[in-house]
Amino acid sequence: MTIAIKKRNTFLIIVLTGFLTGTLDALAAIIWAHKVPPAVIFDYIASGVFGKAAYTGGTPMLLWGIFFHYIIAFAFTVVFYLGYPVAYKISQNKYVTGLIYGMVTWIIMNLFVVPLSKIGFKPFLHVWPVVIGIGILILCIGMPVAIIADWQRRKGSR
């Protein structure tokens, strides 16, 4: 297999994995916040850029929220997928690596990204939502990327 084909395959795997993680994370958020309309979840994401105007912006803000959601999911997927060989050398266990990456993703999102956005920092008043949020990111981002990256590592297509 030529280097160009390997790079194209890696790119395709990363793109598909990004869509998978973004979709799993969105579905988990929709299910967990089942009393909240899905549009409000994506308006919340859009409010990170547009502020409170996102909640009155209708369909355009919904679409911006979906777009930002997938951009963030892709960013975490790319970083983890490309960094997986180093992470694997440290733990040599894809499940431990996925678990840790899910927790790291939660920390980055909730202690850096959201507070630096127009949403701002919101104190964590209850433990249960934090635990659920971390669990969602472990299951929807950390584990899928770890499993797929490890599959590719074992396959030798990198």
What's the mean pLDDT in 141-146? 96
Report how far residue 14's alpha carbon sits from residue 11's, in angstroms, rounded to the nearest whole number.
5
Report how far residue 142's alpha carbon sits from residue 144's, in angstroms, rounded to the nearest whole number.
6
CB atoms under 10 Å from CB of 38, counted, come to: 17
Higher pLDDT, 78 or 5: 78
pLDDT tens-digit map of 93-124: 999 999 999 999 999 999 999 999 999 998 88
One-letter amino acid identity for 45?
I
CA-based nearest residue to 60, from 72, 82, 42, 78: 42
Position 75 pLDDT exceeds 60? yes
The end-to-end CA distance of the chain, in Å, is 11
Position 87 pLDDT exceeds 70? yes
DSSP state at residue 2: -
pLDDT band per the 50, 70, 90 thresholds, residue 5: low
Q: What is the mean pLDDT of the chain?
A: 93
**Structural domain total, the chain:** 1
pLDDT tens-digit map of 24-46: 999 999 999 999 999 999 999 99
Position 1 pLDDT exceeds 60? no
| DSSP codes of every residue in 44-112 | HHHHHHHGGGGGGS-HHHHHHHHHHHHHHHHHHHHHHHHHHHHHHHHH--HHHHHHHHHHHHHHHIIII
Please tell me the predicted confidence (pLDDT) of residue 158: 43
